[in-house]
Amino acid sequence: MIKIENTIFEPNAISHEFNKLFTEISPKLSNKIPNTRALFSDFLLALDECIRSDELSSDLSIEEFEKAFKSIKKKSCGPDEIDGNVIIDCFKQLKDVLFKVFNASIKQRVFPEQSKIAKNSKMNPPSFLPDEPPRKMVLSQKEMMDAEIPLKFRDYCAHLYIPLRKCRIETKMMPWACKHEKHEWEECEVADYYRRMRDKHRENLKKQAENKAGQV
């Protein structure tokens, strides 16, 4: 084990220190909690201090409305088929109207059924895809067998899986290691997936064109 000013560089020693830390931290924390004879009921609020039902139905303040609305990250389309991001971007122009609508809904204790409906916009696939050059395997079948690559990884990205596996073995599967190799391999796998999807869509378009020509 290599130590320089209490710094550990050996992977096994680092793993051992982490295990030691996590196994000792719980008893240390639990020992710091003082014993008490208090009952759970001692921590309950008195009935007159609880939130009343009329407080739950009180008017909504503009500050509360703005804070809640700005916390929305994404919003699906409603029955009006307007993109939710448009409403968020135009909040300054729409906030007065929306504030009145929400306040009226709270006062009347009514929430329109149509407002509960979310509608996702469906993207139509392209009607034409240009041809792409055929893909080439970097490794041959024999090279993949010699490298003992599992069958599920013997694809167009197998040449990037080998350095990733080698790095993982050398670093003893440390989670913070091999990030570059992992990124290269995963990026190739994603690109390969999209390529297969495009090839499949080209086949479907070709079949549709043949069926259409046969019906004429």
Residues 99 and 151 in one domain: no
Q: Is 178 among the domain residues? A: yes
Express each pLDDT in 193-210 by its tens digit: 999 999 999 999 999 888
Residues 104 and 145 in one domain: no
Q: Is 73 among the domain residues? A: yes
Q: Is 174 among the domain residues? A: yes
Q: Is 175 among the domain residues? A: yes
Residues 156 and 207 in one domain: yes
Q: Is 49 among the domain residues? A: no
Express each pLDDT in 79-96 by its tens digit: 566 666 777 777 788 888
How many domains does one find in the chain?
2
Q: Is 78 among the domain residues? A: yes
Q: Is 18 among the domain residues? A: no
Residues 149 and 102 in one domain: no
> What's the confidence (pLDDT) of residue 126?
78
Q: Is 40 among the domain residues? A: no
The 3-class secondary structure across the chain, one letter per residue, is CCEECCEECCHHHHHHHHHHHHHHHHHHHHHHCCCCCCCHHHHCCCHHHCCCHHHHCCCCCHHHHHHHHHCCCCCCECCCCCCHHHHHHCHHHHHHHHHHHHHHHHHHCCCCHHHHCCECCCCCCCCCCCCCCCCCCCCCHHHHHHCCCCHHHCCCCHHHHHHHHHHHHHCCCCCCCCHHHHHHHHHHHHHHHHHHHHHHHHHHHHHHHHHHHHHC
Q: What is the pTM of this model?
A: 0.45
Express each pLDDT in 166-193 by its tens digit: 999 999 888 888 999 999 999 999 999 9
Domain that holds residue 59: 55-108
Q: How confident is the model at residue 3 (pLDDT cuts 50, 70, 90)?
A: very low
Report the percentage of the chain scoring pLDDT > 70.
69
Residues 147 and 203 in one domain: yes
